[in-house]
Structure 1
Amino acid sequence: MTLISYPTRVHFADAVMEHALWSEMEKGRVRAALLIWDRSHANTEFHDRIRDGIPPGADILSCEIAEGADTDLLARRMADGPEMQAVDAIVAFGSVAAIEMGRSLRRELHGSRPAFFAVPGIDGLPDPCNRNLESWRDGLPSVVICDPTLTQSPAPGALLRAAVLTLMRCIESYLGAAYNPPADGMALDGLSRAIAALPQLVATQAGDLDTRRELMAAALNAAMAQEKGIGPAHILARALAAECHDRLTADAGRLILPGIVAATGRGNRKLDTLGRVIGGGGPDIETALHCALDGLPMHARLSDLGLTAHHLKRAAQAVAGRRDISQSVAEAVLTQAY
């Protein structure tokens, strides 16, 4: 049985954040809001604009996440605190880590759950839970506010890496076995936007507002398309990033995606459509992906990330039990990219 569920309100426009947050909180009669952000967004324009969007009279609680913090553990501890009893809205903004923290905290709260507002940065929304898609649906924000003007000062390389992660999410969602036509449509749209953004991101490393808007739209579509689940390349890329203790998921994903798609997509009738969207004129999907990704100014080999053969073997264990790829095939793809 196919279950398709998208119970999220989305605001998407330039400079919409303050008005959208204010109106949603007033409509929900929010009396106390918990703001969640990571340390990189402290004392920034993003942070100031979020506070400007809180209606007067609403109490504000704050949670700043330290770099590398265990958000699940932090959420469990916060859920037991007496101050959470008064909170009727969680506003997580700026980064995947902050939004993941908000999702975890809301899941830990028993009884009446507060509304959950997510205001993503350029890296978009978190992945769904690996274990089951019901937790993905339960963890969706009540409201998502996408405002491209909030992405005016990204860290060097952040936009390019966001584009690569979005591209990877879209491709794997589209190729996923689950029958979900809306997700397939969003995946293809997100992929075409991400592919179109890559040349300017390579040339400028910053991107104008039009490019950032397209990339934010692509990231939103990619996240929503993941109702079909997380693909093996994304899981392996995250496992590799964890092994080298750095946020290099996009670098690892770029290097292994062509091999993973070639290994898992044989016989999939959707490959021709993917090839047309990606372009490049290659004779097969692996060649087309190499044409699109190989020239990007990112790490050239997995060994450049400080990984060893032992790290590859351990990372390959992350796909154990999957039907679409065996652990041995995953290890072979990782070794080829090493």
Structure 2
Amino acid sequence: MTLREPDRQKLDKLVERLVGDVGAAVSGALVVLGDDLGLFKALADGVPRDVARLAKETGLKERYLREWLSAMAAADYITYDDGTDRFHLTPEQAMVFAQEDSPAFFAGAFQVTQSMWMDEPKIAEAFRSGRGVGWHEHSVCLFRGTERFFRPGYNTHLVSSWIPALNGVEAKLKVGARVADVGCGHGASTILMAQAYPASRFFGFDYHAPSIEKARAAAEEAGVGDRVTFEQATAAEFPPQGYDMVAMFDCLHDMGDPVGAGRHVKETLAPGGTWLIVEPFAHDNLKDNLNPVGRVYYGASTMICTPASLSQEVGLGLGAQAGEMRLRKVALDAGFSHFRRARETPFNMVFEARA
């Protein structure tokens, strides 16, 4: 077999892109470092600082800070003024790296990526054996990073857009409804709904016990502990209590048996109840997902979501880019007769299912 000679221009273009990708990977580690050390928050006021001042304010060592600041400036994550030898965050950079409640906050995404690097040996072994890797088997940074990654989107859209798009659900929540948040993780979505609808009761369920403990503490801190209950339970076993809505946020595709979970949801709903399904945005055809968002989601699906599904019974392995057609089939196979896309964002699809 004769190998075709590579096109030099195409090769140079690919190498140029790889330099950028390696730089992004390296910068990701430094973002996690800066986030852990509180450096972005120390710079969040936008006031230019030289290295000595930042060292004094943070208690960190100048030589390390200069190297970190220089790397972040090279990544355009921090702004450098050559005339004064000072560094600062622009308002846009502060929104992305320092402001936890910003709709553009991105530090959590780098923690999720950190877990992929740390857990790569486990995934490599899964490729060889065919076995899965459970959510609970990942590094702790995944659990915290996932909550911080998804929470800004929930803060921006859940109460203002997604719930109002569901037929009749918001009216029930305002007067007093029962809601189950299945796969609640650290409880960000559950707590947000409880704050918005004080007349309703909310029940968060997750099979991961450490996440449930975090959620309970977060609910108390948020002042909603009197109307939110968090319990350890799987999607197939959470207690039926005649819920007006059962919500699953970015977790249905992680389940080994999403159809079975859907059947259980149907059994737990009150008459006229709604199943709210929020999933990562995806088109139905692979070629349409070959874009920056699809790149992130396929990568996360390879390292986290698909292994999680394959670690469970059935192991359907929907993946984070399942698309509407496959999700619709899950809902219909579970016994729901009504399924529609209620809303979408560049990162999420929001579905309403009814019996």
- TM-score of the two chains, using structure 2 as the length reference: 0.27
Greater C-alpha radius of gyration: 2
Considering Cα pairs closer than 8 Å and 6+ residues apart, tell me whether 1 or 2 has the greater RCO. Answer: 1
- TM-score of the two chains, using structure 1 as the length reference: 0.28
Q: Which has the higher strand share?
A: 2
